Amino acid sequence: MTYTQFVTNYLKKQKIGNPIYIKDISFAVSNAFNIDKKKSSSASSIAMNRIINRKTVPNLRCYQKGIFYLTTLTPFGELPITKNMLIEEKYLSNDKGYKTGYRLLYDIGLTSQIPNEYLIATNVAKECLRHDNLLDVSICPPKTPIDKNNIAYLQILDAINLLNKAPVDADNPLSIIANYIEDKKLDFRKLLFYADRYYSKNTLIDVAHIATFMEVNV
């Protein structure tokens, strides 16, 4: 089997709309043919160029450099790439980011209003809030670099920090947050630590108030 034949078969097995990354193709080629990363990268690029030029996979589309997808025709035109998966890969995966802002409050059940803006706190955002026009999502830097140990704490503290700024219309919002913390099995002492170190005094006070709805040892 040639590299081009292998990549063709690889592509045909992918789900419609899912992003197909050249880096993943290269990794698959490397494993299948037992070749090093540099050679597999070159072989994958050449194979993809041949497949595209020859239209071997007619429904293959290039989204941008290094990212492809398979499409299908619908009554509304060609099905586009699944952007939520692109957002996940770019800003959220491997504990490098989390959903925040008013959409987070909606997901938790603190507001019934569905926000238009999709805001993500992510390590990818280095300095300030900005909008990714291609993916239609806004990103901002977190209070401190996100990792697997603090991600859940920073996310709920972001929600608490927004309580007095957002259109919260749920009854007993602190009770809802207390239930969320218990469901996620978060350590309340760690929550207090992160609140004290990275958030405002008002947020810390709200965290203390939440303790009245919980059985905690602090």
Query: What pLDDT, on a 0 to 100 scale, did the predictor assign at position 216?
Result: 56
- Does the pLDDT of residue 99 top 60, yes or no? yes
Q: What is the mean pLDDT of residues 184-197?
A: 95
pLDDT band at residue 128 under the 50/70/90 scheme:
confident
CATH 1.10.10 range(s) for the chain read 3-81
Query: What pLDDT, on a 0 to 100 scale, did the predictor assign at position 18?
Result: 98
Query: What pLDDT, on a 0 to 100 scale, did the predictor assign at position 68?
Result: 98
- Please tell me the distance from the alpha carbon of residue 197 to that of residue 160, in angstroms, as a whole number: 15
Query: What pLDDT, on a 0 to 100 scale, did the predictor assign at position 177?
Result: 95
pLDDT band at residue 215 under the 50/70/90 scheme:
low
Query: What pLDDT, on a 0 to 100 scale, did the predictor assign at position 164?
Result: 82
Query: What pLDDT, on a 0 to 100 scale, did the predictor assign at position 53?
Result: 95
CATH hierarchy code of domain 3-81? 1.10.10
**Mean pLDDT score across all residues of the chain:** 94
- Does the pLDDT of residue 217 top 90, yes or no? no
Q: What is the mean pLDDT of residues 150-168?
A: 93
pLDDT band at residue 197 under the 50/70/90 scheme:
very high
pLDDT band at residue 165 under the 50/70/90 scheme:
confident
Query: What pLDDT, on a 0 to 100 scale, did the predictor assign at position 167?
Result: 86
Query: What pLDDT, on a 0 to 100 scale, did the predictor assign at position 26?
Result: 98
- Does the pLDDT of residue 113 top 80, yes or no? yes
Which sign, positive or negative, has the C-alpha torsion 21, 122, 174, 105? negative
What is the reported pTM? 0.86
